[in-house]
């Protein structure tokens, strides 16, 4: 049975812009104003985090909106402490909305004497009182199995498909989806299927960790508008090198669609100087001023999708329905049109 309480949102300092956007979208869907719960999340002089919730949350269905992006450790601790504060305040249920799940790249042991930190983080979230997780484009799908609580993993590809059909209207026949490595083929294949486009793969060989020695394109990209698809772009070194390789193989244009724009270090400068025409990212991570000012980077919103997912969790309806264009299209009406 759906909860008799209204869903309540609370946010940390990781991405307040997205949190406010989700609240606005939920207000539109519900037809009544929904604001973020009034709270303070601050630090003592020694950087110790303190949380105080100013509103009564007893018996409420609480949703904490907090990606664990840079600074990952601070934002993760904020999430854990907020959950503890809500649990001790007798909240009925606590759901962590983590648009970008940090530490997801440490999902297995790649060599001896290394941790599986994604599993450690999953344990910490559960112990803090979180009863459900809502996230988007986990780096590895098996991370859902690290949790003993329900995990809803949304996908950016349906939104990317809407954006592609709008941005490349009239020339979709020239579009080819490209996976930047063999491990991301599943993600690229899903997007290619949604827009009815062919698929290519850039196979990379590493001599040392973090250094790409050679790239080989599998598939004919001659004259194609290549769309590189991946979940994370950190320093953009591999992405820009893949774009160079595709252009050398005869591609007409190269664009990239990335779920999570980490964009650390020299990433923005590399993208600005790259042969890649545009980089499209979501707002799962709060963009820096450099990212916002870069003409080659464009940001697509995820608030409509997250707002509807939160409402579906609250009222007990399907979250997986948001994977389908028939459901997602109307949610993004006004942003993208099929005309």
* Enzyme catalytic residues: 204
Counting other chains too, the contacts that 44-47 makes at CB distance below 8 Å and 24 or more residues apart are 47/74
Cβ(226)–Cβ(200) below 8 Å = yes
Angle in degrees, 0-180, between the axes of helices 157-167 and 185-195, rounded to the nearest 10? 50
How is residue 165 annotated by DSSP? H
Whole-number Å distance between alpha carbons of 79 and 98: 9
Whole-number Å distance between alpha carbons of 165 and 192: 12
Q: 182: which 2 tokens?
A: 């063999």
Task: Label residue 105 exposed, middle or buried (CB < 10 Å: 0-12, 13-18, 19+).
Answer: middle
> What backbone phi and psi angles, to 5 degrees, belong to 328?
-75, -35
211-218 vs 175-179, strand pairing mode: unpaired
How is residue 113 annotated by DSSP? T
Q: For residue 229, how many other CB atoms are within 10 A of its CB?
A: 27
Give DSSP secondary structure letters for 12-30: -SS-HHHHHHHHHHHHHHH
Q: 3: which 2 tokens?
A: 């909860």
């Amino acid at each position: 049975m759906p909860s008799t309480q209204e869903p309540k949102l609370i946010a940390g300092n990781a991405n307040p812009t997205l949190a406010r956007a989700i609240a606005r979208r939920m207000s539109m869907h519900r037809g009544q104003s929904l604001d973020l719960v009034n709270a303070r999340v601050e630090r003592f002089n020694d950087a110790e985090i303190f949380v105080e919730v100013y509103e009564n949350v007893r018996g409420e269905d609480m949703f904490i909106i907090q990606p664990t992006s840079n600074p990952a450790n601070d934002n993760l601790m904020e999430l854990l402490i907020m959950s503890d504060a809500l649990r001790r305040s007798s909240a009925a249920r606590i759901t962590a909305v983590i648009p970008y799940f940090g530490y997801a790249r440490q999902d297995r042991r790649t060599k001896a004497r290394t941790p599986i930190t994604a599993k450690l983080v999953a344990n910490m979230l559960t112990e803090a009182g979180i009863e459900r997780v809502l996230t988007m484009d986990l780096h590895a799908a098996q991370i859902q199995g690290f949790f003993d609580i329900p995990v809803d993993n949304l996908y950016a590809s349906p939104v990317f498909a809407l954006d592609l059909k709008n941005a490349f209207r009239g020339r979709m026949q020239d579009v080819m989806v490209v996976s930047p490595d063999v491990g991301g083929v599943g993600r690229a294949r899903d997007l290619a299927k949604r827009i009815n486009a062919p698929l290519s793969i850039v196979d990379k060989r590493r001599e040392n960790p973090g250094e790409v020695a050679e790239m080989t394109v599998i598939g004919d990209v001659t004259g194609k508008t290549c769309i590189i698809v991946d979940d994370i772009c950190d320093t953009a070194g591999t992405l820009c090198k893949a774009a160079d390789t595709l252009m050398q193989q005869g591609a007409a244009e190269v664009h990239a669609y990335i779920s999570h724009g980490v964009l650390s270090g020299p990433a923005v400068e590399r993208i600005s100087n790259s042969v890649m025409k545009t980089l499209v990212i979501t707002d799962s991570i709060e963009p820096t001023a450099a990212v916002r000012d870069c003409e080659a980077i464009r940001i697509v919103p995820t608030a409509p999708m997250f707002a509807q997912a939160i409402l579906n969790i609250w009222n007990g309806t399907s979250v997986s329905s948001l994977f389908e264009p028939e459901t997602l299209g109307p949610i993004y009406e006004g942003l993208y049109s099929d005309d």
